A and B are shown apart, each in its own frame.
Chain A
Amino acid sequence: MTALLEVRGLVKVYPGVTALAGVDLDVEAGEVHCLVGQNGAGKSTLIKCVSGAAVPTSGTIRLLGQPLGAGQPSAALAAGVATMYQELDLVADLSVAANIFLGHERRRGPLLDLRAMRREATALLTRLGHATLDPDARVAELRAADKQLVSMARALSRNVRLLIMDEPSAILDPPEVDALFDVVRRLTADGVGVIYISHRLDEIARIGDRITVLRDGATVASNLPATTSLDPLIQLMVGRSFGEVFPARAAPVGDVVLSVRGLRRHPDLAETSFEVRAGEILGVGGLVGAGRTELLRAIAGLDPVDGGEVRVRDRVLPPGRPDLAVAAGVGMAPEERKSQGLWLDWTQIRNVTISSLASLGRGPFTDAGAEQRAAATHLRSLVVRPDDPRRLASELSGGNQQKVVLARWLLHTSVVLLLDEPTRGVDVGAKADVYRVIAELAGRGLAIVMVSSELAELVGFCDRILVMREGAVVGELHGETATEELVLRHALRTAPQLEAR
């Protein structure tokens, strides 16, 4: 029997970089094949080659025994290869049905056959187990999970044989992930082969059949059973033992630095109060949409609030004034690092010094030498790689980009750090490095508020955890007694009633 997809000896050389150095991959019809590896291991390049978005330097890609036309996305699509990228390629202002049939609209004569598309869209969504999704709804108004569904329905509408899913669970809550897996199983039951990429290794055993591990652009293990336990898997990925991920830290003992009193913003944030001490890492857990990002943005003055008070040391921050929050020592590392945290076409230096220019120049003038020295000091202290402050931010990995943002606030001598999903998009090996940096910052006496969707991170790393649900803090857990299960129970409303806060 021929495999659905057979990749042999795939090599892709970009100028100066060998992205793929001989990759083999076999995917059978009806299986979920998990593709794992660190960032930069070659997963994205492999996907681009298979989907026709990139032309391989050498090697073969066969679908059902037939060579796949290289570098032609339309040919790959016609052969039945569909790709769901992280950034879903949907048109926000069009309806669900219009998106599903984008590029192959049903027509009657020269006119669009809206009725047929609506009907077929509903049929496709029903096949995916989501008959209730309205085919006339505008995609912009859908939740992330529903958008993915539209993306999958679109793949189905094209008679997909091989569906490539790039980190589909990254933007989903646990219940939504369950629903996603249900949809994936329906697809595989229909004989569709799925290549599933995820940084959440615990998902593999739940959804996968087999695993292929990439490292440094080559296949280091293929066709492992999905039941392979995490430790050997991580070892294969990083080429070393995982061991201690979270650095050991002393308990915080400092004074209260950040104090939030009755902060509220309709409808995202119910009255919220808490304090954070110098040297403390406060975790904020909860599902996507529980109001965690809104809480951080309200503290930072980025969004207007309806009431409440934010105090940094003895200073009350005027609401809606991010510049004054920064001046008072509040630094924010947003979740959307690339679109909100950095200027990707700037050097590391400029990204670090942007908030401290007044103290680095004379009068209204900037001082390139002083900028360079100040930035380099802090970039080195956080061990940013590559060690070249003139390198553009776009050329850094996710973890190192995060460190550049942190270096900015270190240089600014911030006293409060608001971190929104600081390890999102950071690969396994580099996560430990980000934890080390955050722990070090706490060690220097910064008060840290850290929003995270990774339960292990909250429980293993934070001193204290607030759990939010529907815009309100519904639970507070302390370091030693916190468990992943407890956090999830609060987040999902299955926890026993807590003491009134």
Chain B
Amino acid sequence: MTASPGSRAGAAALRRMRIQEIALPLVVVALAVIGTILKGSIFFSTANLWNVLVQASVAGTVAVGMTFVIATGGIDLAVGSVLAAAAVIGGHYFHGLGSAGFMLGTVLAAVVFGAINGLAVAWLRIVPFVATLATLAAARGIAQQISHQTPVALYDLEALSRIGSLRVLGIPIPAIVFLVVVGLGWVLLNRTRYGRYVIAVGGNREAARIAGIRVRPILFSVYLLVGLCTGIASVLQTGQLASASPVVGLGLELDAIAAVVIGGTSLAGGRCTMLGTLFGVLTFALIFNLLTLMNVESQIQQILRGVIILGAVAVQRRDH
């Protein structure tokens, strides 16, 4: 009670600052420096740096939607399967409508899967882990059933297949899409009433009800949102492959959730940061880019991924 109110408020603000918000950008910079030192000419080229973003774009776009879901205290394990199912549905049923038709159909299919998850969580009150686990299994099955376990070739969709190669102002399209989605996600989370309600419901559901917030529509909507993001990611993925494969997106849920969590969003809900998610995505992307440049085998990369997640979450725990 001795310190002045000003300095105590300052200390409070400092305490509020999540450790990841300072630490992760530093990690990203440190990785860039290490990369430049070790593999200077190859790593620090515009081509490679854009490549990092392109590689991060699929999981990164999904991670934006995932941030909203986790902010409500939920989780979506189905994103990888839904990505594949949406791609196959788009490739199979909307192929004839051209690139735009394919994209629309794919995104729509992913949103429908999101709606199913949202209904199960918000109205049937099924625990998100279980509801989306069920969708994970079913969506993968749907993808394989429709495609007869063979990829649908999409080379004839010219606009779609140029997603991977076309650049605007020198920036690859997937990188642009990812960064725009992050930007929109940030605004939605931090500058709109909707974003506040999402955090309110995640932080204290009963207080939100008492304050007059309709909890179920909010819960429903975040799964719709992650469905939308997954649909966009599915278009980016199929565009780069120029085919809709039923086996894409394996383990995507882990990449997206890991990026969100090491970014500093709490799995318990109510505490979330979109910038943290961006840096979480970048951290993983840079690490694997570096390891690949250094010819480290992919199974070793996989092990390192686990170590990084554990380490980052351990740091986060100490912050509480």
Asked if A354 meets B204 with Cβ closer than 8 Å, knowing A364-B194, A366-B193, A391-B12, the reply is: no
A46 at the interface (CB under 8 A from B): no
- The docked-state distance in angstroms from the alpha carbon of A389 to that of B193 is 20
CB <8 Å contact, B211 and A392: no
Q: Which residues of B contact A395 (CB under 8 A)?
A: 12
- The docked-state distance in angstroms from the alpha carbon of A342 to that of B204 is 8
Q: Mark A364-391, 1 if CB is under 8 A from B, else 0.
A: 1110000000000000000000111011
CB <8 Å contact, B192 and A365: yes
Q: Which residues of B183-197 have CB atoms within 8 Å of chain A's CB atoms?
A: 191-196
Closest chain A residue, CB of each to CB of B200: A354
Q: Closest approach, in angstroms, between the C-beta of A319 and any C-beta of chain B? A: 14
A93 at the interface (CB under 8 A from B): no
- The docked-state distance in angstroms from the alpha carbon of A326 to that of B213 is 9
Q: Count residues of chain B with CB under 8 A from any CB of chain A.
A: 30
Q: Closest approach, in angstroms, between the C-beta of A190 and any C-beta of chain B? A: 40
CB <8 Å contact, B193 and A365: yes
- The docked-state distance in angstroms from the alpha carbon of A366 to that of B211 is 17
- The docked-state distance in angstroms from the alpha carbon of A387 to that of B4 is 12
Asked if A323 meets B213 with Cβ closer than 8 Å, knowing A343-B270, A364-B193, A365-B193, the reply is: yes
A357 at the interface (CB under 8 A from B): yes
- The docked-state distance in angstroms from the alpha carbon of A17 to that of B1 is 5
Q: Closest approach, in angstroms, between the C-beta of A473 and any C-beta of chain B? A: 23
- The docked-state distance in angstroms from the alpha carbon of A216 to that of B270 is 34
Q: Mark B1-22, 1 if CB is under 8 A from A, else 0.
A: 1110100110111001000000
Partner of A302, one of B5, B9, B210: B210
- The docked-state distance in angstroms from the alpha carbon of A147 to that of B5 is 41
- The docked-state distance in angstroms from the alpha carbon of A60 to that of B9 is 33
Residue pairs across A and B with CB atoms within 8 Å: the count is 83
Q: Mark A285-316, 1 if CB is under 8 A from B, else 0.
A: 00000000000000010100000000000000
Q: Which residues of A contact B2 (CB under 8 A)?
A: 16-18
Stretch from A131-139, A176-184, A332-340, A435-443 at the B interface: A332-340
CB <8 Å contact, A322 and B209: yes
Q: Which residues of A contact B271 (CB under 8 A)?
A: 345
CB <8 Å contact, A16 and B11: yes
CB <8 Å contact, B210 and A332: yes
Closest chain A residue, CB of each to CB of B13: A390
- The docked-state distance in angstroms from the alpha carbon of A148 to that of B203 is 30
A355 at the interface (CB under 8 A from B): yes
Q: Closest approach, in angstroms, between the C-beta of B222 and any C-beta of chain A? A: 16
Indicate the member of A17, A323, A327, A395 with the most B CB atoms within 10 Å.
A323
Q: Mark B213-231, 1 if CB is under 8 A from A, else 0.
A: 1100000000000000000
Q: Which residues of B contact A357 (CB under 8 A)?
A: 193, 196
Q: Which residues of B contact A388 (CB under 8 A)?
A: 5, 9
Q: Which residues of B contact A326 (CB under 8 A)?
A: 211-212
Q: Which residues of A contact B211 (CB under 8 A)?
A: 326, 354-355, 408
Chain B interfacial positions (CB closer than 8 Å to A): 1-3, 5, 8-9, 11-13, 16, 191-196, 200, 203-204, 206-214, 270-271
The 6 closest A-B pairs by CB, nearest first: A326-B212, A357-B193, A340-B206, A364-B192, A323-B212, A355-B211
Between A and B, 9 residue pairs with Cβ closer than 8 Å are A18-B2, A322-B210, A325-B212, A326-B212, A332-B210, A340-B206, A345-B16, A365-B193, A390-B13
Given contacts A18-B1, A332-B210, 16 further A-B contacts (CB under 8 A): A323-B214, A326-B211, A326-B212, A340-B204, A340-B207, A342-B207, A343-B200, A343-B207, A345-B270, A346-B203, A355-B211, A357-B193, A361-B193, A364-B194, A365-B191, A392-B16
